[in-house]
Amino acid sequence: MDEFGKHMENCPECKEELSIRFLVTEGMKHLEDGGEFNLQKELDRRLDENSRNLQRHSAMIASGRYLVTTLFVFIGMILILFFG
Ligand SMILES: [Zn+2]
């Protein structure tokens, strides 16, 4: 888990891949449940937990990655809305 976390820190490609996978699995799960959900809020919460454990990044890098992640949230939502 430590190795995995370190790799996610240093490999933006894997981190983005993980974000997409999270959005897809989480989105599908909630759609199957039929319940209401807030993907953005849920992802924010998870990223929040993550950033508490990984505090080596500067605020600049963190906010840059946050913007990238937000972009993927929108892409994920569009995919779910149109193809879900
Ligand atoms: Zn990687």
Burial track 48-76 (b if 16+ CB lie within 10 A, e otherwise):
eeeeeeeeeeeeeeeeebeeebeebbeeb
CA of 37 to the centre of ligand 1 (A): 30
What is the CA(33)–ligand 1 centre distance, in A? Answer: 32
What are the residue ranges spanned by the domains of the chain? 2-83
From the CA of 35, how far away is ligand 1's center (Å)?
34
| pTM exceeds cut of 0.85 | no
- pLDDT of 75 reads 84
Q: Rounded to an integer, what distance in angstroms lies between the CA atom of residue 70 and that of residue 17?
A: 13
pLDDT digits 0-9 by tens, 19-78? 888 888 887 777 777 656 677 777 778 777 776 666 655 666 666 777 777 778 888 888
- E strands, the chain, in order: none
